Every structure is written in structure tokens, then in C-alpha cells.
Amino acid sequence: MKIRYVVAIAFLLLFANVNAQADCILGVGVTNDSIISDIFQLNEMQREKLESFSGEIKYRNDVLSNELENVKNRHPQSSVKELQQLADEYKSVMDSMGRVQKMIDKRMLALFNSKQYDLYLSLCKNASRSPYIVVPAVYTDSISSENR
């Protein structure tokens, strides 16, 4: 009984993320594409890229989920040391999933124009999240005729 308590506490401490402010994920592949498209009023090219990025992240996460399942099934779990090794391997795969999400979100954000990116920054601020910093794209259809 005591070992279960120690293991439970170890898992909680291991997976607790103590950031002052969490990243402001866009959620490509997690959030429904139509919601992202509607909120940020994406143009046709951006919608196509969003769909492509969503497919990519779902594929990558499926591969990583299979890896998690394999780690769980192959790893012995009879001692605290073995459980710690399992937790370390599990955390490594989960960190990979987080890195993939960040990479895909940044790719999508780089396609935003300045108004879309400003909306993203505003939403992140309201949610007390740290936004990803990217340089918004400049589209010829978004430049006013005065600036041409």
C-alpha cells in the first residue's frame, strides 16, 4: 500500500508542469478546423494548409501514441525503479507530442496576416497564456490600395 502511495506521488510530481504561464497553443489538429477557420477568417490557401497540417499532426500523434502503447506493454513495472524508467520514457514521448503541436501551430501562425496574428495575441493575453512569436505573412490582397 505504501509503495503505491509513493509511486502515485512520484507520477504527480513528474508530470506536474510548473510554468508561470503556459504556451498559447492554436490547437491545429486538436481543435476543429472550422472553428479555427471561422475565428481567424482564414483565406482559401490558409484553410488548405490548416487541413494539411491537421492531417500531419494526427498522423504524427498516432505514431507517438503507438509508441506509448509499446512502452507500456514492453516495460516491466514490478519495482519503483522500473516504474520510474517507465515514467521517464512516457514523459519523453509526451514531450515529443508537445513539440510536434508547437511546430505545427507555429507553421500555421506564420501563415496568418497581421490582423489574424493580432487577434491570436489578444486571445492569448485574455487567456493569460504565452503566445508563440512568429512573423505574420504579408498578402497582396490584404494591402490597401494606398500602400501600393
Record the pTM.
0.74
pLDDT (tens digit per residue) in 97-112:
999 999 999 999 999 9
More reliable by pLDDT, 133 or 16: 133
- Scored b (16 or more CB within 10 A) or e, 68-84 reads beebeeeeeeeeeeebe
- Scored b (16 or more CB within 10 A) or e, 1-30 reads eeeeeeeeeebeeeeeeeeeeeebbbbbbe
pLDDT (tens digit per residue) in 32-70:
999 999 999 999 999 999 999 999 999 999 999 898 888
Q: What's the chain's average pLDDT?
A: 83
